[in-house]
Amino acid sequence: MIAAIIQARMGSSRLPGKTMADVAGRPLLWHVVNRVRKARLVDKVVVATTNQASDDAITEFCSGEQIAFFRGNEEDVLDRFYRAAQSISADTVVRITADCPLIDPAVIDKVIVRYQQADCDYVSNTLRYTYPDGLDTEVFSFAALERVWREARKPAEREHVTPYLRSGRFRTANVESDTPVSPARLRWTVDNSSDLQFVRAVYGAMNGNGAFGYEEIFEVLRRRPELAAIQTEVISNEGYYRSLFRQARAGAAPMRQLAQSQAWLARSKEVIPGCAQTLSKGHTQYVQGAAPIFLQSGKGCRVRDVDGNEYIDYVQGLLPNILGYAHDEVNAAATAQLADGHSFSLPHPLEVQLAERLTRLIPCAEMVRFGKNGSDATSGAIRAARAFTGRDRIACCGYHGWQDWYIGSTTRNAGVPRAVRNLTHTFKYNDLASLGKLFVEHPGEFAAVIMEPMNFVEPEAGFLAGVKDLAHKNNALLIFDEICSGFHFGLGGAQKLFAVTPDLACFGKAMGNGFPISCVVGRHDVMQVFEEIFYSFTFAGEVASMAAAMKVLDLLEQSDALARIEASGRILQDGVNAMAKEAGIAGHVLAVGRPQWSLLKFTDKNGAESPLVKNLFQQEVVKRGVLILATHNLTAAHDGPAVHQTLEVYAEVLKTIAWWIDDADPARFLEGPMAQPVFKVR
């Protein structure tokens, strides 16, 4: 028997009594039950409520409407749910919550069918959201539920029923929406008063008719976009994050054994200036003494240091590992090419094949030249722009690599001639006036505007198009530095996402999943300048990395890797923000940016950047097994168990920091020297 069990109670902390709130003349719960009953494959519907007196209203309502119900433990929801399923001898269980009055019977049936066809213990449409929040359907066997009931111990697992099912211990599958409408941030569940107002408005637009599906709701929202503006909060599953926070224990974590890291550091100091090949990977970027210094191995989203400690890695080599460390298929593609040679005396067909592929994927790409590092690409683009325009000055916004033309504009400018420094000018993001001022001050002198189209701040409406317009009005080229945004924000990069096509663009990092490769792409007439300028180095045509890149593009195009990255990133971002709010430090810790690549901002009580709060956070998460600088460099390998483990760590650390911030001297909780910035923009 397939039984749908609807969790319901009156005691919501955010909107008490919502279960029986009026919607189109009926209690909200009535609509949920009525819609679930319309699912063709559901044999029985049961409301599982608590044995508290406050929920007598629910059982009285169910009795009057001939709705089966079960009463059980208020706090141990898993026990209540299990006993409800046991009481009716359910073979298959469908979990629905009573705050989803827009639940779609057809979606319920679709998830059930997938469960019946798949060799899985658990199937849902919530492992990765492609449906609006509020159509949540979970289907699992009674046997799996019974195992969870026996084994789950953590409070959040008992309160929310299914986290243990999603912990990696069971076979799972996700159901995707067929509707080509992005559901990101669509919230159709009822958790607060604005949600209830939205649901009432939807039923009003349907004239009280309950026989509608989610696609009809999309149509209503297209006709009446003002309805979507009713809601003020958009964090999904906020109750779950609050549960994680409540179960977390505050306090400093014990130090990890790092003796081998320290030994390698001592040896490194003798032979390597700065002890690392990349400044951002050096030991000075972490709280010294608390963080590992040397890593030994990595697989997927996890790494091991030279002392054998394991970490969930959100640095990922500074962003290139979009599929995770040591991806089997990517490594196999590179290895196969290595067997045939990889650094040849003449060009290899792979150069042409990869270039052709990039011209199909990237809007501005008509021709392609390859490099190995992001700095190769940005510097090549700048040289090409100067040659094409016959001008010298560059306007820049963002980080663009280590070469003289850019790094001279920062505080890390030792060794860069002043004449070179003076040719690069910075402007502010989302501030067209600051760019316009440069053109006024140096008329006819700018070769190009180079910028990151987006990192962690969304471009304001018209900003990117305005930059392009200003550049072209002043006969300068527009270059998008997409070394970081490329592929993470979609296969076409930020330029496709925001529909602004530059003259040139630079891609790298994620393209090779850790293999060294980058490229300059752009307009045919500008790219032909590469035939004249000197952009030439021995390993630009190295093809093992190109073979890896071809496989990376295969996987990004043909799998759900990018969707998984976005889903994991959204959970992390929402979790941080919800738990920081619960801790009372939302003003000090905030995750911003797109979920694929978000930034943790740390501020003091005045709203200024706080290195101290950042270092305290970084110190405590790394001691608990999470390696991070300040960004979530997500990969397709950051699966549900890894994200859940990370959130449990974050809950403990946020609770700890909330305590420390109120101390007279929070700095006393640091266990080593703070991380030092690599440079500051001049």
Active site amino acids: 399, 481, 509
Name the nearest CA neighbour of 317 among 491, 513, 493, 456: 513
Report d(CA 208, CA 283) in Å as an integer. 63
User: SS3 for 274-325, per residue?
Assistant: HHCCCHHHCHHHCCCCCCCCCEEEEEECEEEECCCCEEEECCCCCCCCCCCE
The H or E element containing residue 479 is strand 477-481
Name the nearest CA neighbour of 258 among 266, 250, 270: 266
Report d(CA 222, CA 461) in Å as an integer. 21
Report d(CA 519, CA 310) in Å as an integer. 34
- Which tokens go with 649? 């760590």
Report d(CA 246, CA 563) in Å as an integer. 30
Name the nearest CA neighbour of 176 among 101, 111, 121: 111
Report d(CA 74, CA 59) in Å as an integer. 14
Which segments of 54-150 are extended strands (E)?
A: 68-72, 92-97, 122-124, 138-141
Report d(CA 84, CA 334) in Å as an integer. 54
H helix and E strand count, the chain: 23, 23
CA torsion sign for 349, 351, 357, 359 is negative
Phi, psi at residue 467, to the nearest 5°?
A: -60, -45
Rg of the chain (C-alpha set): 28
Tell me the one-letter amino acid at 532.
Answer: E
- Which tokens go with 390? 């016959």
Report d(CA 171, CA 97) in Å as an integer. 23
- Which tokens go with 181? 């409408």
- How far separated are the first and last CA of the chain, in Å rounded? 68
Residue 609 exposure: Cα atoms within 13 Å on the Cβ side: 6
Contact partners, residue 544, CB within 8 Å, separation at least 6: 334, 337, 338, 342, 515
Contact partners, residue 222, CB within 8 Å, separation at least 6: none
DSSP state of 513: T
Report d(CA 13, CA 422) in Å as an integer. 59
The H or E element containing residue 34 is helix 28-37
Report d(CA 378, CA 369) in Å as an integer. 12
Neighbour tally for 484: CB within 10 Å = 26
SS3 397: strand
- Asked if 97 and 124 touch (Cβ cutoff 8 Å), the reply is no
Contact partners, residue 190, CB within 8 Å, separation at least 6: 15, 18, 21, 28, 99, 100, 101, 134, 196, 199
Name the nearest CA neighbour of 189 among 238, 225, 140, 224: 238
The H or E element containing residue 368 is strand 367-371
β-sheet with 310-313: strand ranges across:
295-299, 302-305, 310-313, 626-627
